Amino acid sequence: MMNAYAKPLPRTDVDSQPFWDGCKQHELRAQQCNDCQRFRWPPQAFCPGCYSWNFAWTRLAETGKVVTFVVVHYAAVAAFQPDLPYVVAHIAIDGTDGHVQLISNVIDCPWEEVKVGMAVRAVFEDVTPEMTLAKFRPA
Ligand SMILES: [Zn+2]
């Protein structure tokens, strides 16, 4: 779906909507199991650790580490052309035992300087009135 922002936006659903509501408030949130305390990612109905259906949405740290990344040099969607080259990374959020790994951009940093293990901090971009994206910059 296109919009004034011109780039395709994430598709929300009943499981992920609280995450996006958190981004709107400039907070990172994830489900945490009420029975074994494990964080769940991506958002889902039951715990991948103990299969419990009980959970609460919990505010996360805004810091994390780059687990892995790619550098995109070809834009399959024309709206991303001006951003080339850009970094898409898995970011392990601090305090989640590696269970919450967001896939996002590392920005405000030349792509040649992005490293596995690099400490990053969330930055929230209000891209439309309805959607805020969590991206990351060097901490
Ligand atoms: Zn559990």
Structural domain contains residue 21? yes
- How far, in Å, from the CA of 95 to the mean position of ligand 1? 16
Structural domain contains residue 30? yes
- How far apart (Å, rounded) are the C-alpha atoms in residues 19 and 73? 29
- How far, in Å, from the CA of 139 to the mean position of ligand 1? 31
Structural domain contains residue 78? yes
Structural domain contains residue 118? yes
* pTM for the predicted model, two decimal places: 0.92
- How far, in Å, from the CA of 39 to the mean position of ligand 1? 8
Tokens of 20: 């996006």
Who contacts 72 (Cβ-Cβ below 8 Å, separation ≥6)? 80, 84, 85, 86, 87, 88
Structural domain contains residue 7? no
Structural domain contains residue 82? yes
Structural domain contains residue 6? no
pLDDT of residue 5: 77
Structural domain contains residue 10? no
Overall domain count for the chain = 1
- How far apart (Å, rounded) are the C-alpha atoms in residues 84 and 114? 15
pLDDT of residue 33: 98
Q: Name the residue range of residue 44's domain.
A: 17-138
- How far, in Å, from the CA of 33 to the mean position of ligand 1? 5
Handedness of CA 128, 7, 119, 13 (dihedral sign): positive
pLDDT string in tens for the chain (139-residue length): 456 678 999 999 999 999 999 999 999 999 999 999 999 999 999 999 999 999 999 999 999 999 999 999 999 899 999 999 999 999 999 999 999 999 999 999 999 999 999 999 999 999 999 999 999 999 9
- How far apart (Å, rounded) are the C-alpha atoms in residues 71 and 129? 29
- How far, in Å, from the CA of 100 to the mean position of ligand 1? 14
